[in-house]
Structure 1
Amino acid sequence: MSLIKFRRRLPLIDRGIPTWFETGDLFDDELFENGKSIPPMNVKESDSSYDIELAIPGFSKDEIEVSLENDVLHASASKEKESVEEDVEGYTRKEFNYNSFDRRIKVPNTVNQDKEVKATYNNGVLYLQLTKDEVAKDRSKKIEIE
C-alpha cells in the first residue's frame, strides 16, 4: 500500500475557521510552512525574581540570543533548514522544526534592568532569571489641570 498526499481543493475556505472536531491531517503542511515560531513559556514569580522557561529544543546555546532593553525581554534564534528531497530514506513526512523563533516579553517595572539576567540552556529549555527591584519604581506622574 502506498500513501498518497491529499491536499484540499479550496484551502482558503476553512483557513481561519476553527473547529473543535478537526483532528488534523497526517499530510497537512499548513502548520509547518511558517518560518518563525513562538515557543511556549512558563513564568514563575518569587519575592526576589521572575523565573522564565522557554521550550526551544534543537538549538545550541551559541545560536540563541537574549537581550533586555526598554522593558522588553527579547529571545531569538535561527537555524538553517536542512534541504531534504522528498522520499529520501523512506520518509513520508518530516516534522522536525529547523525554523527560527522570536519571542518578546514586556517585563514589569519591578524588574531591575541594571542587574544581570541569569540565563542557562539545558535539555532544550532556556531558563532566564530576572531580578526584582527591592522597591518598584513609581513611573506615575500627576498632571495638573489648568
Structure 2
Amino acid sequence: MTLMRYSKPNRNALDKNFSDIMDEFFNDVVNDQRGNFVPSIDISETENQFLITAELPGMNKDDITISLENSRLAISGERSFENEEKGKTFHRVETKYGSFERSFQLPDNVDEESISATYENGLLNISIDKSEDKVKKQIQIS
C-alpha cells in the first residue's frame, strides 16, 4: 500500500465555504500555540549502521549540539529569528523558531565510539556503526 499526502484543491478565495474558513482559523491557532521549532527526524538502518537525519534549515552548525549520555543520543540547538532589516514589515511568519531538543535511546548493538556527524545544506546526518560484540543472543529453553 502506498500512502499519499492529501492536499486540498486550490480554490479561489471567494469560493471558500464555512468549513474551509474554520480549518484555516484553527490551524493558525494550533500553530501559534505550538510555538517552538521542532525539527523533522528520519532514522534508518543498514546492515552495518544506524543513520539519523535531522532537517535544520537556516541554522549554522555552531548552533547545534549533539551529546551522548547513558546510551541516549540528544540533538539540541536554537533557531533564531533575525528581524533586523529596516524597512521590512512582516505580515505573516509561519516559520518556527526557538530552542529544541530531540533525544533517542540507542539500541544495545551500537559502537558508541563510532558516532560521527556532518552538517550540509540544512541537513544534519549522524551515522552510528553497529557492534557485532553486542548483538542480542537468543537463549534456548531446556
SS at match of 1:57: coil
Spell out, residue by residue over 1:84-128, the C-alpha distance to the aligned partner (whole angstroms, 9 max, x if none): 7xxx63432122333122101111111112x13110011111000
- TM-score if structure 2 supplies the norm length? 0.67
Quote the offset at 1:23 in angstroms: 3.6
Post-superposition Cα deviations, 1:20-43, rounded to whole Å, max 9, x if no partner, equal: x96433993541444533321111
1:54 is aligned to 2:75: no
Gaps of 5+ in 2: 1-20, 138-142
Residues 1-146 of structure 1 mapped to structure 2, 5 A cutoff? 23-25=23-25, 28-82=28-82, 89-113=88-112, 115-136=113-134
Give the RMSD, CA atoms, in angstroms: 3.1
Question: SS at the partner of 1:59?
Answer: coil
Q: Residue deviations 1:59-94, cap 9 Å, x none? A: 10011000111111100002444457xxx6343212
Count how many residue pairs are aligned between Structure 1 and Structure 2. 117
Which secondary structure does the structure 1 equivalent of 2:134 belong to? coil
Identity percentage of aligned residues = 29
Give the whole-Å Cα distance in 2 for the aligned partners of 1:71 and 1:37: 25
SS in 2 for 1:78: strand
Higher helix share: 2
User: What's the TM-score once normalised by structure 1's chain length?
Assistant: 0.65
**Aligned equivalents of 1:110, 1:26: Cα separation in 2:** 44
